[in-house]
Structure formats: C-alpha cells, structure tokens
Amino acid sequence: MKKLFTSESVTEGHPDKVCDQISDAVLDAILAQDKHARVACECSVTTDYLLIMGEITTTAKVDVEKIAREKIKEIGYTDPACGFSYDTCKIDIRLNAQSADIALGVDNSQEFKSGGDVFDETGAGDQGMMFGYASNQTEELMPLPIMLSHKLMQRLAYVRKQGILDYLRPDGKGQVTVLYDGSKVVKVDTVVVSTQHSDKVDIETLRKDIKREVIDVAIDSNLMDDDTKIYINPTGRFEIGGPQGDSGLTGRKIIVDTYGGYAPHGGGAFSGKDPTKVDRSAAYMARYTAKNLVSAGLCDECTVEVAYAIGVARPVSILVDSHGTGKLDDEALAKIVEKEFDFRPRAIIEKFNLNSPIYGLTASYGHFGRNNFPWEQVDKANDLKKYL
C-alpha cells in the first residue's frame, strides 16, 4: 500500500529554537561548574524581549544574561531592525530553587531506602512515559522525512552563515513529504522551504537560489523526479520573522526534536533540563535501546516505551513494539531489554556521561540521528546478536 508521510524541521533562528538553545546554554554553563545541579530552565521570546524562568539549584555562579546574549548573537540576531537583537532586547530573569518535595524523591529514591544498590539512589525526577525509535530505512536508523528536513535546514543555515546567500536572515522552516510503498521508500514527493530574508531580494531570485544552493545540495537527486513538488516561500515574502514575527517558547518543537511524528513522543520536552529529568535522559536511553536492537538485526523497526513514577528509580513498565519485523516476538524482545539495558536514572546518567555540558548541540536539528551523541552508539549490537 502506498502512503505519504511528512516531517518538518526548523532553523536555529526559529523563535522556539532560540528558546531551546538559550535554555541548554544555561544548562551547559551550570553543569560545567556543578555536575550535580538541578536545572529546569525555560525561555519565552517575543519582539525585542526574552524571559528566562524556571527552577535551578546549584553551587555554580554563571551570568545568565550574558550567556543568553552570546547565544542570540551566535544564532545571528545582530540587527535591531529585525525586531530582536542580542544587544537591544530586554531580558527578564525569574529563576528559583527546585522544589524541596521533588528533591526528596530524586536524591533518595524509595528503592534505595529499602536497601537498593547505588543506581537505585537517584529516583526519577517526574512521572511520565518516554519513547525511543529506530528503523533501518536510513543509515542513521531514523525515519527519512525528518532526516531530510534536518539536512535542508542545516544547509539553509550554512549558506546564510557563510554569506553564500547574504540576504538570508535566521528564521526558517523546512518540510519533506516521502512516498512509501509499504515500508519501502519510493521517492520524495514534496519539499517546502520557507526562509526569512531581507528586502534586498526579489522572490524569483530567492526561489532559484534556494533550489540551487539548498534543496539540490541537501536532498539526493535520486530521491526526486520531475513530479516532485517544490514550494519555496509559497506566500511570496518572509521579511518579518524570528521573535518579531512569532513568539517562541522552550519545548514547543518536541516533534522536530525527535522523530518528526513518525513515532510516538511522550510529551515531555528536553531542552533546559538536567538528566535527572527522565523526560530527557530516559528518552535518550530508549533511542539507544531501539537503535541497538535494530542494528543487531533483532528487528527492522522498533519502538521502545518506558514509564516512571516520581521518586522511584526502576521503570514501572517497559514495552517493545517491533511493528511485525521482529526475529523474536515482542514479549521476548522486552525481556531482552529488561535484562540488557539499565533504565534507572543514575545508570543512564553514568553510561552517557550526562552530567557533562553536552547539550548545546542537541538544541537544534534534532536530538537523534547524529553520531556525535553518546546515545547514538550501537556498541551493544554485537552482544545482542547472541539472542538470534
């Protein structure tokens, strides 16, 4: 059966992604001094205004406003005429200590109190469910639509920053629709790119430039044909963008952050959260688990769900869905996961060294599908092959 599936991505200049990057920049700066800090930092932006809020408990001494202005400058908002600039925007900071009630369960879980080992000491920072996914439809073991959308936006940012297209501004969105026959990729059906620009370029020039410098470079020509539909700035103009054109908020691009809608997402955002928050760390572990199962050949596609109770180290449930592709049944795969993968928060933190300042890179172009993240390793795959 043929079907279409669409995913989107955004550039780092998108208002929501500006907030994600500032939140993770604050987190990284704190973890660089205090690896045991508790951080939940969120931001909101609008025209020439940034609010930084949340709960932080730490011994670190960081200049939050300076961190934010440097990140805004790095993203590319340097011209006050754009309605948002690193040197003119007003910044309000509203940060408080983490709730003592939450800290009780995180620092000394129920299982540790009843005689558990060291990995039982750290309880989950909240209840909730997290998902991980992997599929062999791309070499990154990711869905193709989201990977192509990310590559489009990374290329769009590159040609802006390198001055190849000097009229571009930081905000931008991309979208790719892939045609499947069953689970097999047939071709790219539709590509959409919307990019902010100055008033110095006409729409015909922009469309030709974006097709040549962005789409033709980011997407393999073998995936497209003469019937592939391409829309570039379909409204005609996109001069007003960034926080001036739309407000932004940390954690509002969670589907861009994960699998582009191709797989479930538990609902919790990632950016600005230290790794005791299982919204983040357990989602990374679930991706690692699914990727290793697929890489080992135990299945061609895999969704892993894990759920927690606040203040309890061990998950309350683990589910594996191989979507009918498993060499073993899903119950057997779930038992393998329970035996081979440790989902207790402290075990995850130590395995991936999550108390380090590694989060800035995750805050744009997705948390999965790039091999420079420790949860993207497939180091358990060879060992898992014993179950075949």
Task: Give me the residues paired with residue 320 across strands.
Answer: 304
Angle of helix 278-295 versus helix 330-340 axis, rounded to 10? 120
Distance CA 206, CA 151 (A): 19
Which tokens hold the place of 45?
Answer: 């932006």
Residue 7 C-alpha from the chain's centroid: 14
* pLDDT at position 214: 98
7 CB-side CA count, 13 A: 29
Distance CA 293, CA 384 (A): 7
Distance CA 254, CA 69 (A): 24
Which tokens hold the place of 355?
Answer: 């108390």
Indicate if the alpha-carbon torsion angle 205, 207, 211, 215 is positive or negative.
positive
SS3 call for 161: helix
The string of DSSP codes covering 99-148 is PHHHHHHHHS-HHHHTT--GGGSS--SS-EEEEEEEETTSTTSS-HHHHH
DSSP state of 271: T
* pLDDT at position 221: 96
Burial class (CB in 10 A: 0-12, 13-18, 19+), 227: exposed
Angle at 350 between CA 345 and CA 352, to 5 degrees: 95
- What pTM, to 2 d.p., does this model score? 0.95
Each residue's pLDDT tens digit in the chain (388 positions)?
A: 999 999 999 999 999 999 999 999 999 999 999 999 999 999 999 999 999 999 999 999 999 999 999 999 999 999 998 999 999 999 999 999 866 655 555 666 555 555 566 677 788 888 999 999 999 999 999 999 999 999 999 999 999 999 999 999 999 999 999 999 998 999 999 999 999 999 999 999 999 999 999 999 999 999 999 999 999 999 998 999 999 999 999 999 999 999 999 999 998 999 999 999 999 999 999 999 999 999 999 999 999 999 999 989 999 999 999 999 999 999 999 999 999 999 999 999 999 999 999 999 999 999 999 999 999 999 999 999 999 9
Q: Exposure string (b/e) for 376-387, b if CB count within 10 Å is 16 or more?
A: bebebbeebeeb
* pLDDT at position 122: 80
